[in-house]
Chain A
Amino acid sequence: GAGVSQSPSNKVTEKGKDVELRCDPISGHTALYWYRQSLGQGLEFLIYFQGNSAPDKSGLPSDRFSAERTGGSVSTLTIQRTQQEDSAVYLCASSPGPASQETQYFGPGTRLLVL
């Protein structure tokens, strides 16, 4: 079937506004990850969902960031009161499960620009 999809592909917003980024994982994948890729930097882990377990939020940079995953499928990453340093590419990835040799399949990302 289809790969991981994300929307919007690009988002320009003004400082202080809230934004919502959406991720549709590959059907049947129970593990879902959000990463951030800032210019000239490596991918940075943000949050992880696995089935109905409590998410691992250890990578969220501040309390302005939150995410949810409804029905074990679609996930939304919300950034409140955006700041210019939030400008980055936000990548979502999914995998059949978190363990062993299962790789993560990445979506095309949402390019966020905060003016």
Chain B
Amino acid sequence: GQNIDQPTEMTATEGAIVQINCTYQTSGFNGLFWYQQHAGEAPTFLSYNVLDGLEEKGRFSSFLSRSKGYSYLLLKELQMKDSASYLCAVRDFSNTGKLIFGQGTTLQVKP
């Protein structure tokens, strides 16, 4: 079966660092995506990992361990505008490229 787990909610303080974890068990693996979704808006692409290791993009970094079925999204120097849902998604081996999503983690950044 397909299973992707993320914490439902997290709270952090402005200026701090937060790590959002994602574990997955899927029948195939062809890359892992992180998306950001503000309330009432479309998901927007943050990062993509297909090989083990850390990908850094400004304040955001994403890590992948394929052997452990584990990824995390690291957000540094948190800003109020980072309050949003963060979606972890795995692409399977099918030639469709369809994504299997977790339920998303709602992050609230407090002053």
Instruction: Kindly provide the distance from the CB of B104 to the nearest chain A CB, expressed in whole angstroms.
Output: 6
Binds A, one of B60-68, B69-77, B92-100: B92-100
Verify A45–B103 contact, CB threshold 8 A: no
| A interface SS class | loop
Across the interface, A42 reaches (CB within 8 A) one of B41, B42, B48, B102, namely B102
Verify B98–A103 contact, CB threshold 8 A: no
Chain B residue nearest to A107 (CB atoms) is B42
Verify B97–A42 contact, CB threshold 8 A: no
Verify B96–A104 contact, CB threshold 8 A: no
Interface residue tally on B, bucketed by range? 20 to 34
Instruction: Kindly provide the distance from the CB of B31 to the nearest chain A CB, expressed in whole angstroms.
Output: 7
Interface residue tally on A, bucketed by range? 20 to 34
Say yes or no: A98-B97 contact (C-beta < 8 A), given A91-B43, A103-B45, A106-B42: yes
- Residues on A lying within 8 angstroms of B by beta carbon are 4, 31, 33, 35, 40-45, 48, 50, 56, 59, 91, 95, 97-109
**A–B pairs, 16, beta carbons within 8 Å:** A35-B99, A35-B101, A42-B103, A43-B87, A43-B101, A44-B101, A45-B100, A59-B98, A91-B42, A100-B31, A101-B31, A101-B50, A102-B97, A105-B45, A106-B35, A108-B42
